[in-house]
Amino acid sequence: MVETIQEGCRVLLLTERRKRYLVKVKPGVRFHTSEGYVDLSDLIGKRYGTRLTSNTGSVWFALKPTILDIVMKMPRPTQIVYPKDLGTIILLGNIRPGSRVLEAGTGSGVLTAVIASYVMPDGVVYSYDIVGEHLENARKQLEELGLLQYVRLKQGDVTVAIEERDLDTVVLDIPTPWLAVPNAYEALSDGGIFVSLSPTIDQVVETVEKLNSSGFVDITTIELLMRTLRVKRGMTRPDHIMRAHTAYITVARKACQGIQG
């Protein structure tokens, strides 16, 4: 069955100059850019991937947005987690359908939404933040994405207490993750996975030292650097600008203290 664009649908508009715009299709609305405008009404009933032309002759494509396209356009009250780190967190955290995951802090809700899209339909994300406004903003975004049913938003400080138990994964994006390590240990199931994002190496050192003394093993810290290429026959080369350091990612697994195999 061919899916067509309907009123109220989100569409990713890719312009001739490779600009990307996430729009919601509404009748009678013109979407304007530096490359001209298109009537969004003209998209209704068309297939995703449809080619269209702006009033200035610029060629655009109407694409079906991915979850990443959507979350990267969400409001940003705090620093977001970048795509290159999002995918690594999902894999290293072994996050999959049915997983029970704790995340702190919620912030802009980007990581919350991505994790929720992976644990559905049977899993759950417990997302903590100490700022109520962040939680309310995230609630609105998650509801619009149809993901709120898979998330429990909680105002609280994970360095003080974590209520949940038998979690599969704990993901921390907070200023002092080492202070939450003992609580994360108690909250995780045996062999559960701890993931922490930190922008500075000093935070990493504190966290790794605490993990070592708190019953965690298989401790690893990585940094991901991503460089895109400008591809043209006979002229292919790396782009001059790259997304370099965003965060260090520390991963560890819970071992059973005092239990002999």
- Binding-site residues for S-adenosyl-L-methionine: 108-111, 129, 134, 157, 173
Annotated binding site: 108-111, 129, 134, 157, 173
Which stretches of the chain are assigned E, i.e. beta strand? 10-14, 20-24, 30-33, 36-39, 50-53, 59-63, 100-104, 124-129, 151-155, 167-172, 188-198, 216-223, 229-230, 237-238, 248-254
Q: Is 71 helix (H, G, I), strand (E, B) or coil?
A: helix
Q: Please name the amino acid found at residue 33.
A: T
**DSSP line for 175-206:** S-GGGGHHHHHHHEEEEEEEEEEESSHHHHHH
d(CA 7, CA 241): 38
Angle among Cα 187, 191, 196 to the nearest 5 degrees reads: 65
